[in-house]
Amino acid sequence: MAQLWGGRFTKKTDQEVYDFNASITFDQRMAMQDIRGSLAHVKMLGKVGILTQEETGRIEKGLASIREDLISGALVISEEYEDIHSFVEAVLTERIGEAGKKLHTGRSRNDQVALDMKLYIRDALRQTDRLVHSLIDTLLDLTQKNMDTVMPGFTHLQKAQPVTLAHHLGAYTEMFLRDRSRLHDMYRRMNLCPLGAGALAGTTYPLDREYSAALLGFDGATRNSMDSVSDRDYLIEFLSDLSMIMMHLSRFCEEIILWNSNEYRFIELDDAYSTGSSIMPQKKNPDIAELVRGKTGRVYGALMQLLTTMKGLPLAYNKDMQEDKEFSFDAVDTACDCLKLFEGMLSTTVFNKERMEESAKKGFTNATDAADYLVRAGVPFRDAHGIVGRLVLTCIERGIALDDLPLEEYQKESSAFGSDIYDAISMKTCVSTRNTKGAPGPQALEEMLAQQKSEMEKLDKEEGFA
Ligand code: ARG
């Protein structure tokens, strides 16, 4: 039992109470952030003259040595302490003596923990952004390589109209670009420093909060000390952003699982990203995609947990808030692992292009185009719809595609059909003539790709991420 308080107590804390209350087993993750925050605090205390230059120098040196030793492994965090803040302060005092006891001047663990967590999440946010960035790069590369890979587009999981793989992948690029922009968005809102808010009501010391905020790379200091120590909105936003990323990954995984199935055979997953069965020798399972899909629930769980924890809390700090950490750390680890593994899986996947195009043909995805052909010849669309519907029925009975139906059969249904129908409904034509903005045609796709690339560049240049 090693704690920072006890003066007003006459009895020792019960051991089980102590253990229940302690957070060192999980908040030790923020050791580097805690030291970084303390270094800024002490520098500020020195600047405004609350500590002497000599004291400031000693504390800075002591903190730097703790950081080095933690990194090298020479110093191991002792779980005897209540939390990471107590541990760092105790080791500091052990190393530099009396001056160490002055570190906490004008500070409370409430603003300290709010700061540590913000620094941690800001790092995690940038790491997440880099991983989404890298996944988008892979997607852009695959898009470029598959501009004319025809595949069926689906609605209701029924083959609908032909698209290209580039178009399909481009849809995911849009989702992940929005995810990046959401992360950048929340960064701007969260990047204010709570240090100096004290327990809840600021302090009587003449702290220079803007100075310590600037030292820590914040855009400024927070405006209200009560809000500063009890705000966890940014964390909820981050968990919501992670949930959205996971939802996008999960939808993609669902498609990969389908495409990899014996029925679809659109793709072949790399051996390195598949697993076998202990009993069925023929199996090659898409476990990674399934796990990413499954772990999505875990990240949503973290979001729900924190929303629920926060909903009844009066101002300002309450110990409930200590529960903001474990699930959040888990969500960060989970989402980052999923992003990495998903990208590895996607970049090694082989797309079975012939099979995709064949599937588009067999699924009558060009039926709308056959009807549009008649419309161009003057047949009203509703009549054209009926004519092509009957032709599709004939094809189904014979087990062939519209492309393989003899011209006489076409002409039995409508004299408007000529021999150019085959070209009009070829997969290449169906796709290449769809060039409205956002459509799968080549001009439209080029435009999409160029805009996606420039959006990436814009995001890369944004402050805090460059
Ligand atoms: N371990 C605490 C937390 O994570 C640190 C703040 C403690 N403050 C307090 N007044 N007990 O929230």
Binned at pLDDT 50, 70 and 90, residue 196 comes out as: very high
Pocket residues: Cβ below 6 A from ligand 1: 23, 27, 83, 109-110, 113, 317, 319, 321-322
Which pLDDT value is given to residue 26? 98
Nearest alpha carbon, ligand 1 atom 2: 322
- For residue 240, indicate whether it is catalytic: no
> Would the pTM of this model clear 0.75, i.e. be above it?
yes
Q: Mean pLDDT throughout 122-127?
A: 98
Q: Ligand 1 centroid to 23 CA: how many Å?
A: 8
Which pLDDT value is given to residue 406? 97
The total of other beta-carbon atoms located within 10 Å of residue 21's CB is 14
For a mutational test of ligand 1's pocket, the pick from 319, 321, 329, i.e. the residue with the most ligand atoms closer than 8 A to its C-beta, is 319
| For the CA of 23, the nearest atom of ligand 1 | 1
Which pLDDT value is given to residue 283? 77
- For residue 426, indicate whether it is catalytic: no
Closest C-alpha to 387, from 404, 401, 402: 402
Q: Residue 173, class by beta-carbon neighbours within 10 Å (0-12 exposed, 13-18 middle, 19+ buried)?
A: buried
pLDDT tens digit sequence for 276-317: 877 787 878 999 999 999 999 999 999 999 999 999 999 999
Q: Ligand 1 centroid to 110 CA: how many Å?
A: 6
Per DSSP, which regions of 25-179 are E strands? 150-155, 158-164
d(CA 233, CA 305): 13
Query: Domains of the chain by range and CATH?
Result: 15-105 (1.10.275.10), 110-148+157-213+222-357 (1.20.200.10), 367-425 (1.10.40.30)
Mean of pLDDT over the chain: 96
Binned at pLDDT 50, 70 and 90, residue 460 comes out as: very high
Q: Mean pLDDT throughout 431-442?
A: 95
Which pLDDT value is given to residue 155? 97
- In this predicted structure, the answer to whether residue 7 has a pLDDT above a threshold of 80 is no
d(CA 34, CA 217): 15
Q: Ligand 1 centroid to 320 CA: how many Å?
A: 9
| Lowest pLDDT segment from 102-106, 345-349, 361-365, 445-449 | 361-365
Q: Which of 78, 261, 277, 454 is catalytic?
A: 277
d(CA 430, CA 395): 19
Q: Ligand 1 centroid to 30 CA: how many Å?
A: 13
Tokens of 421: 């129908």
